[in-house]
Amino acid sequence: MPITLHRGDITTDAAADAIVNAANSSLLGGGGVDGAIHRAAGPALLAECRRIGGCDTGDAVITGAGDLPVRHVIHTVGPVWHGGDDGEPELLASCHRRAIALAAGHGCARVAFPAISCGIYGYPLELAAPLAIATTAAALAEHPSVVEARFWLFGDDVFAAFAGALG
C-alpha cells in the first residue's frame, strides 16, 4: 500500500520529497509540529511564508524547505474541532487532497504527513485517522506520480489510531 506509518520526528524524514506542515492560517509558525518544522527549517522557511501571506483552512500552499532534508514544505491549515457540525470533516479531507495535488504538481513522489488537526486543534483521533487515511488513499489514486504518503505519528495513541484506520 502506498501509505506507510512511522513513529517519531517528521522533520528527519530524508526519504520524503515534501513534508506537510500542519500550519496555522498565518503560516508564521506556532506550536506542535508547525513549530518543530519551522525550527528545523530555519529562517528561510519563515521568510518564504511571510511572502505568501497566509492560507485558508482546508487549503494548502507549497514552499521550499530551508534546512530540512526534503525539497518542499506543503503548509496546510486543518480545522479546529467544534463538534463536527462546522464543516470539519470536509476541511480535513481537503487538507489531504490539496497536499497530494500540490505534491504531484511539484514532482514530489513521497510526502510525509503529520496527524493534521489532532493536536491543539482537538480533532478526535478516532474520527481524524480513518478520514485522513481514506482521503489520502483516494488522492494518491488520482495522482499516481505520488507513490507514497508517509504518516509520521507522535505518541502511541496517535500511532494506534492510524494503524487501526489503515487496517
Percent of the chain with pLDDT over 70: 99
11-38 per-position pLDDT tens digit: 999 999 999 999 999 999 988 999 999 9
Question: Is residue 165 within 8 Å of residue 132, measured between CB atoms?
Answer: yes
Side chain identity at 71, as an amino acid letter?
R
Q: What's the chain's average pLDDT?
A: 96
- Catalytic residue positions? 34
Write down the pLDDT at residue 85: 96
Indicate the SS3 state at residue 139.
helix
> Could you give the CA distance from residue 30 to residue 33 in angstroms, rounded to a whole number?
8
In the structure, what pLDDT confidence band is assigned to residue 67 with cuts at 50, 70 and 90?
very high
Helix (DSSP H) and strand (DSSP E) numbers for the chain: 5, 6
**pLDDT number for residue 46:** 95
Whole-structure pTM value = 0.97
Q: pLDDT (tens digit, 9 = 90+) per residue, 95-124?
A: 999 999 999 999 999 999 999 999 999 999
Which residues, in sequence order, are CB contacts of 75 under 8 Å at separation 6+? 20, 21, 23, 27, 49, 55, 60, 61, 62, 63
Closest by CA position to 80, among listed 46, 39, 128, 35 = 128
| pLDDT of 151 above 90 | yes
Q: Strands 60-64 and 72-77: what pairing?
A: antiparallel
- So what's the pLDDT on residue 1? 55
What is the reported pLDDT for 21? 98
Query: 3-166 has which CATH code?
Result: 3.40.220.10
Q: Which of 85, 97, 99, 155 has its CA nearest to residue 127?
A: 85
